[in-house]
Copies of this chain bind each other. A is one copy, B any other.
Amino acid sequence: MECTAMEHYKIEKEKNRLWLTENSYAPLYELKTESIFAQCNGYMGVRAVHPFLSVEESRGMFLCGVFDKAYENEVTELVNCPDITWFGIEIDAEKIHTDSTKLHSCTRKIDILSGELRLFYVFELSTGTLVEIEVKRFASLDNKHLFMQSYRVHICNGIGKNIKITTGINGQITNSGVSHFHSVTERVYDREVMESRGELEENIVTVLTACTIKTGTVAKKDFTLKRRSIYGIYSFTEENDIEIEKAAYIYQGGETEDCRARRYMDCFKNTGYQKQFCMHRKQMQNFWRKAGIGIEGNGLEQQAAISFSQYHMLGMTPPDRAECSIAAKGLTGEGYKGHVFWDTEIFILPFLIYTYPEKARQLLMFRYLGLEKARQKAKEYGYQGAMFPWEAAKTGEEETPKYAALNIHTGKANRVWSGIKEYHVTADVIYAVEQYFTVTGDREFMEQCGYEMIFEAAKFWVSCAKWDETEHRYCIYDVIGPDEYTEHINNNAYTNYMAEFCVKTACRYARQLKEGGHKECSRLEQRTGFLEYLEKFEEFLSKIYLPKPGRNGIIPQDDTFLSKPCLQEIEKYKSSQVKQAVLLDYSRDEIVNMQVLKQADVIMLFDLFPRLFPDDIVRKNILFYEKRTLHDSSLSYCVHAQASAYTGDKKAADRFFKKALFIDLNDNPYDSADGIHSASMGGIWNCLIFGFAGVRFTGTEVWIRPCLPENWKEISFFLTLCKIEIQFAVSEKRIVMEATKELKEPLYVCVEDKRYTFVRSLELYRDTGETKEWKKKSEDVSLT
């Protein structure tokens, strides 16, 4: 049976199209729909607002890497850039508004496969005239600066004596009332191309736009300037069918760009929406060919939700050469100020490492470019090495505010601890570096950046661990783990294991470099002093406290967690529509002192280190901790789903997976209002590949342990291992792998304790007989 997570949004399949549809004008869902239907191509993200002004709207265009700090007391944030989507239409002096004009029907839909947005309205004017308006939009993947729109106005019963269409560039947009542009200047070239140029402290954002009339005759064309905005006014007389295309070219400063942009706008006059769309779709098709996940047997809604998450993964990934990363909300909203969290490395990067390794490299480069700031942060808090920022914007500086808004009742500033105490991000980044190297074998990156990051992170960890005289071990005190409902705790299991992983990795590479007499050795020694630290790394590794499962098999989340009382009536909060509903009944201090989790914490370890604990321990811990977890973070369900799948608990995996799948698409109108949940999108991919397909890669071995939900027949996808694309088709009955070209060095494929050599292709099937053993399809099963 199809799951029914969505009521408000519908799925419609057409040839080459997969529409996610909103069939009514729904102000309650407005902000959410604007986020999840947004047009994003990695360079820009444009919220899917109605073309007409509406009361509940929140217009937004965000450009990758365009950050600004408006005032001393404000936080650096992703700038909400000028709006290009507003479309004013007046027919015989009657203005059309979504809110106030009688609306016979309203459809807003996004084709998940191409990212094209379609808006369709039937309005009835006060005169009884019926007006159909159709709008199309996409952010081009073929030219990342290009945003295309098409408007069609059709008067069904009669003609419009005077039709006035106004559209242009509105630079009055702010980040919730905070303006960033120091100045905005506008002009018109050749009575065709409008330009708005906005100056930030460090960037110039330029928007060029031009309209082409495809149907209808313009009786009069004017341009009008308002504060920070410019509009073209196109007047028509006695028309009933008007079609206008609007191209916008958006870029950041620079004369070279100016020339290119001007040339581009010239060229646009000869192409138009449809042709640009074809070019864009070709790029989209390349994406799906490479990144698409095929599942036989899951329903349309689930398939659409998976594709939806992949559309957004594409849309949030920065274009080439931009020194920027992926925000918690991608480019779809103002939420979390456009900051980069651990979400990127732990949740989103795996998809890129296995699919677009060059993008993964670029995102890790972002962290490397911030290394100096990370060193400064460590120094500031009295540590050695580098502490990566909990929240980053552009420079890698710590952007987490030290104080949140005042406690409105006491007037006291609420200290924000995550920027200082969520140490784990410094290991999370290293985990991603190591994963990247494992999967790609990109030694050059490691030599240029990776080793340095690893050593600096490891230096931080050995410097922050404290020696416990009583227990004779190194401890990590006063941290916040992934579960943010606990604060100032000691020996958070996730943190300690990740720290150990980081130092172990550093230790291994340090030894390799030292022993191998590597040419980079002296440069790296000069920059990091890693040889001097080697002993400290070893000492740390021999004595770091790693919380082990207790007699009941439970790994303590931290030193005190298991001794705290449980939250009463936890089911009430688990089922609440309101996020973090528990905070309405309990103070933060009370919650810190209860066994209640915001999100997966210990469980994360099982996903990151799948063979660290025996399956029964993993199962016990999932059961134990899930009971205590509110999943108040969008980073939670996908982690539980993946861990459950890996341990073979199909039902639990399926249940959690469906929750994760609809984090953005569910019917809660308040979710996603300020942007989609990037990490959850990545988590869905991780769950599919690492969880259900059960594929992991160690650099030489591919382990496969499939565990598909009921009804799913097969899951197929491409992964790029050691620079070779390999197609996988996996079920519990059959495993097929096919490389696009022959591997230079063979890999080993491990399935249930058997190891098969893989050079170009491999097909395994499970014996239907009594043994249920896996067998190679060809005769010679190469047992090792």
The interface of chain A, by Cβ under 8 A from chain B, is 27-28, 53-55, 70-74, 95, 97, 99-100, 171-174, 176-179, 182-183, 185-188, 191, 199, 223, 225-230, 405-409, 411
Contacts and interface: CB of A to CB of B under 8 A. Distances in A.
Given A177-B228, A178-B228, A183 B97 contact: no
Contacts of A28: 95
Q: Which 10 A-B pairs have the closest CB atoms?
A: A172-B177, A99-B99, A73-B183, A99-B100, A71-B182, A179-B179, A176-B227, A188-B408, A53-B55, A187-B408
A778 B251 CA distance: 86
Contacts of A227: 176-178
B74 A183 contact: yes
Contacts of A172: 174, 176-178
Contacts of A27: 95, 97, 100
Copies of this chain, how many?
2
Contact of A408 (B176, B178, B223): B223
13 contacts: A27-B97, A54-B99, A71-B183, A97-B99, A172-B174, A176-B228, A177-B228, A185-B405, A186-B405, A187-B406, A191-B409, A223-B408, A230-B408
Contacts of A229: 177
A481 to B, nearest CB: 27
A350 B713 CA distance: 89
A188 B225 CA distance: 42
B73 A182 contact: yes
A222 to B, nearest CB: 8
A626 to B, nearest CB: 31
A183 B177 CA distance: 11
A55 B99 contact: yes
Nearest to A101: B99
A724 to B, nearest CB: 48
Contacts of A188: 408-409
A201 to B, nearest CB: 10
B174 A179 contact: yes
Nearest to A194: B408
Q: Which of A53, A95, A179, A185 has the most CB of B within 10 A?
A: A179
A172 B178 CA distance: 7
Contacts of A176: 172, 226-228
A229 to B, nearest CB: 8
B55 A97 contact: yes
Contact of A179 (B70, B73, B186): B70
Contact of A100 (B95, B100, B185, B230): B100
Nearest to A407: B187
Contacts of A177: 171-174, 179, 227-229
A312 to B, nearest CB: 25
A180 to B, nearest CB: 9
A235 to B, nearest CB: 13
A308 B662 CA distance: 58
A177 B170 CA distance: 9
A232 to B, nearest CB: 10
Contacts of A171: 177
Contacts of A230: 408
A726 B99 CA distance: 56
Contacts of A228: 176-178
A187 B411 contact: yes
Nearest to A177: B172
Contacts of A182: 71-73
A256 to B, nearest CB: 19
Contacts of A183: 71-74
Q: Which of A55, A70, A173, A411 has the most CB of B within 10 A?
A: A55
Contacts of A199: 73
Contact of A185 (B55, B186, B191, B406): B406
Contacts of A187: 406-409, 411
A228 B177 CA distance: 8
A55 B100 contact: yes
Contacts of A74: 183
Contacts of A173: 177
A172 B97 CA distance: 23
Contacts of A55: 53-55, 97, 99-100
A28 to B, nearest CB: 7
A395 B205 CA distance: 34
A200 to B, nearest CB: 11
Q: Which of A70, A72, A230, A409 has the most CB of B within 10 A?
A: A409
Given A73-B183, A74-B183, A187-B409, 10 more contacts: A71-B183, A99-B99, A172-B177, A174-B174, A176-B227, A177-B179, A177-B228, A188-B408, A223-B408, A230-B408
Nearest to A74: B183
Contact of A225 (B223, B225, B405): B405
A99 B102 CA distance: 10
A407 B195 CA distance: 12
Given A55-B55, A179-B179, A183-B71, A225 B174 contact: no
B99 A406 contact: no
Contacts of A100: 27, 55, 99-100
Contacts of A71: 182-183
Contacts of A179: 70, 174, 177-179
A187 B404 CA distance: 13
A670 to B, nearest CB: 13
Given A28-B95, A95-B27, A172-B176, A186 B72 contact: no
A403 to B, nearest CB: 11
Nearest to A182: B71
A771 B73 CA distance: 80
A409 B407 CA distance: 51
A99 B411 CA distance: 37
A618 to B, nearest CB: 40
A310 to B, nearest CB: 32
Q: Which of A27, A53, A70, A178 has the most CB of B within 10 A?
A: A178
Nearest to A173: B177
Nearest to A197: B406
Contacts of A223: 408-409
A259 to B, nearest CB: 15
A606 to B, nearest CB: 37
Nearest to A228: B177
Nearest to A188: B408
